[in-house]
Amino acid sequence: MDATEKQLITDIERLREEFTQTQDLYREVCALLFFRYGLTPTANKLYQLVRKGSMTAPADALNKFWEDLREKSRVRIEHPDLPEALKTAAGDLAATLWTSAQSLAQESLTAYRGEAQASVVEAKAKLEAAKGAQEVAQRQLENSEEAHQVAQRRISALEQSAAAMAATNAALESQLQQAREENTAQQRQLAEARQEFTAELDKLRAMTQLAEERFIESEKRALLEIDRERSAAANLQKN
């Protein structure tokens, strides 16, 4: 960027602070380019320098600038103090300047419109692409939501199944605990019955032993009695 361009940008920034209205700012930049820098303003150049407002704002401001310039030139030409020949020459010069400026402005406007149209076409293409991408994303989101709903229903079914299994398991645990308690009670009763049976068996054995001992004693006494009777009978036979 050369010194002239830097100075131009500095002047435009100063105008930007002074003129807040978009059309006023574009008009002042037109005057700056034309009168101070000797450049013919174009809509495309104006927009590149100012970058404010819509795409048609610089073209509207440029047309207004040329109209104002033509009116001011006409007033100067028709000044009563000027000689007629000078008026004619000035009028011809202003007309030539106006025609050239209008031609350049029209060419610039045509090119600017072409660029603007190309930008619009490109923007529309990008918009269509964005819409397509949005539709794809929307379908993906809908598919994702549908899959999420299916997963949620599956999770709910599994949770219900797990709850039913937990309830069944709790019931089985309760039954198992009850069976354990009943088995413990039966084992205790069986142990008590065994103890009672053993005690009764011991008593029966003792009674049997006592009866056998008594029977043996009785048998011995009976044998002794028989022996005495035999001895007594033998003695009687001898006598």
The predicted pLDDT at position 112 comes to: 52
Residues with Cβ within 8 Å of residue 70, at least 6 apart in sequence: 94, 98
pLDDT of 136 over the 90 cut: no
State mean pLDDT over 200-205.
Answer: 90
pLDDT of residue 47: 93
Q: What radius of gyration, in Å, describes the C-alpha atoms of the chain?
A: 65
Q: CA dist 72 to 29, 76, 78, 116, Å?
A: 18, 6, 10, 31
111 Cβ contact list (under 8 Å, min separation 6): 42, 44
Q: pLDDT confidence of 2, banded at 50, 70, 90?
A: confident
Provide the residue ranges of all domains of the chain, joining segments of one domain with +. 3-117
Q: What pLDDT does 35 receive?
A: 92
Confidence of residue 12 (pLDDT cuts 50, 70, 90): very high
Which pLDDT value is given to residue 118?
67
Which of 28-32, 65-69, 129-133 has the highest average model confidence (pLDDT)? 28-32
pLDDT at 148: 85
**CA 70 from centre of chain:** 62
Whole-model pTM? Answer: 0.36
Residue 101 has pLDDT above 90, yes or no: no
Rounded to an integer, the average pLDDT of 202-214 is: 91
**Structure tokens given for 85:** 């020949």
